Structure 1
Amino acid sequence: MTETNLNTLLSHRQQFLGFVRRRVQDQELAEDLLQGAYLRALKSEGTPQDEESVVAWFYRILRNAVIDQYRRKTTESKALSAWGKEMEAEVVPAPELRNEICACLSKVLDQLPANYAGLLKSVDLGERPLQQFAAEQGISAGNAAVRAHRARAALRKQLTRTCGACSEHGCIDCTCRSQNISV
């Protein structure tokens, strides 16, 4: 992009922002979309040469940015709706079954590395959001997600070792029960 084209786009900033604001209700979102469109324009290799063409070209970029935002929002809404329906149908285990499960888990969690056990106790048993856990630990959300995946895999493996078939079919007569593990 030439300096002239960039200056032209910057001189029309208020009109561009007004265009986006009329299409999205959130002022901060409008600013974000405009900034994203500027970045897209800077990275683009096929920039028109004259001033009128570059403005029209940029309006197309803005229109596409707004359309993409609505598509993301629609997709997110559908996913949240599906998740909400799934959560409504979820069955909460009876307290005695939960205590039995927790007894097995307590024993097995103590055998896992401390960082895995801490994550599982906080996020899965304590129902703390993974993002909150990540912030408290000073790690990225992506890193926390990977750590959670590995911790759950280690827990699964250790449960199978400790409880055998009971880890898949329920504690019927396993070592966990015979050792009278209490929570």
Structure 2
Amino acid sequence: MARRPDQLAAELNSHRNAFKAFLAARVGSEAEAEDILQNGLLKALKHADEVQDDAKLTAWFYQLLRNAVVDHYRARGSVRRRHDGLGEMIAALGEDITAAPKGLEPQLCGCLGGVVDTLKPQHAELLRRVDLNGESVQAAAKALKMTPNSASVTLHRARKDLRARLETFCGDCAQGSCLDCDCAERDDS
């Protein structure tokens, strides 16, 4: 018998606390458990017509949640591997990935601010969100109505363009780490 989505939602919501406890025990976070549960409920509603036996609905949904937990850990592992790979690539390129010493942050931001403003608006906004404000690429992509992959590619191009413009604007000091930059003191314009 075909089940209507509102009937399915009501039935699954009656077990909501048990489902959330099941997920929280596996992912270790109430917030992540809630996210997985919400996504699972959406997926269940999309596939409501697949449930043939009403007696097996709960078991079917638990299996859906188990698969969601596996996907969750795969995604986290993928992100971690991507970040580790990016860090290794940056280190191999010889870029400085350590935090700037205390007191140098304003100088760095002062140098970058004017140059970032000369980039394409989308590039500048993405750089500000991700590199200067610490927002994730995914969150910035969503805010800018881009796909995460497109945002990553755009961010790469924006960084490359920024590097070239900094080298033009600041000269030799930009070819190093910009920590001894004196372009704020110069007025070449």
What TM bracket, shorter-length normalisation? 0.5 to 0.7
- Any conservation in 2 of the 1:5–1:49 contact (CA below 8 Å)? no
Instruction: Identify which of 62, 77, 82 aligns with 1:79.
Output: 82
Whether 2:57 is the aligned partner of 1:42: answer no
Question: Could you tell me the percent identity over the aligned residues?
Answer: 30
Report the CA distance shift for 1:117/1:83 in structure 2 as closer, same or farther (over 3 A).
same
Deviation of 1:88 (Å): 1.8
Match of 1:160?
A: none
Matched pairs, number: 140
Match of 1:128?
A: 132
Report the CA distance shift for 1:151/1:43 in structure 2 as closer, same or farther (over 3 A).
same
Give the root-mean-square deviation of aligned CA atoms: 4.5
Whether 2:60 is the aligned partner of 1:61: answer no
- What pairs up with 1:1-183 in 2 under 5 angstroms? 1-2=3-4, 3-44=6-47, 45-50=49-54, 52-92=55-95, 116=120, 119=123, 123=127, 128=132, 140=144, 142=146, 145=151, 182=188
Deviation of 1:77 (Å): 1.1
Unaligned runs of 5+ in 1: 94-108, 156-181
- Secondary structure class of the residue paired with 1:68: helix
Q: Deviations over 1:33-66 (max 9, x none)?
A: 001000000000312342x311111111111110
Unaligned runs of 5+ in 2: 97-113, 163-187
Q: Deviations over 1:117-166 (max 9, x none)?
A: 89559949xx636959xx9xxx61639948768878999xxxxxxxxxxx
Report the CA distance shift for 1:128/1:122 in structure 2 as closer, same or farther (over 3 A).
farther
- Any conservation in 2 of the 1:37–1:62 contact (CA below 8 Å)? yes
Q: Give the alignment's TM-score, normalised by structure 1.
A: 0.56
- Any conservation in 1 of the 2:19–2:37 contact (CA below 8 Å)? yes
